[in-house]
Structure 1
Amino acid sequence: MAHRSRLAGFIIDCRVDDLDAAADFWARALGMRVADRDAGDADSEYQQFEATPGDLHVEVQKVDHDSRVHLDIEADDVDAEAARLERLGARKIAFVKRWWVMEAPTGQRFCVVKMHHPERGQEPNAWK
């Protein structure tokens, strides 16, 4: 069955105690504004930026692992996209809530998340 996917954006993983200070730093460094300081849920702390280039999703996330930046790929079928990426050489690390954490053959971690606004931004790629 065909599905669609595209780059969703970048997540700035921060191992910090003060996520507000981290979000403020990155907002100023990138010339953006924090749109939602409470974008997370009961288990996760996120702060989302607005007015991002190309309508990409950019947010700061409080994490327990080393600080890093990872990208998200959004898809209308998360499982089909994860399987496609496995065929390209990626491997599944874990299914977390609603998304796959994956690792590229080159070692970088990334997530495959649900596409929420297919009508916005760049046209998604169609895969068979």
Structure 2
Amino acid sequence: MPTYIKSVTFDCADALVVARFWAAALGGELDEDATAGKAYVEAPGWGGPALWFRKVPEPRTAKLRMHFDLRAPDGIEAEVARLEALGATVFARHEGLVVMQDPEGHEFCVED
């Protein structure tokens, strides 16, 4: 039997801030025991990977080599505006996608 992705883990300065953003962005459930040191977001629906966030002492020093690509159900601009209201920022715009950063600078893309 093949393996599957149980969770994706993010290193953060404040796990709670980043976990709150991703819970709101993806419609997931933030664990009630979440703290600035560690936080868990249950994926919406059944079977998707959960998201773990853990505080680490060192800052990020380079671009991540993996990122999320989010599909914008109501169009790119509407989704970008929604994510900005949650605390994300636009990093770059390209034809057909927008590169954004979560509150701690983790990059992700929004596309049709």
- Answer 1 or 2: higher relative contact order, Cα 8 Å, separation at least 6: 1
When normalised by structure 1's length, the TM-score is 0.37
Per the normalisation by structure 2, the TM-score is 0.42
Rg bigger for which structure?
1
Higher strand fraction (1 or 2): 1
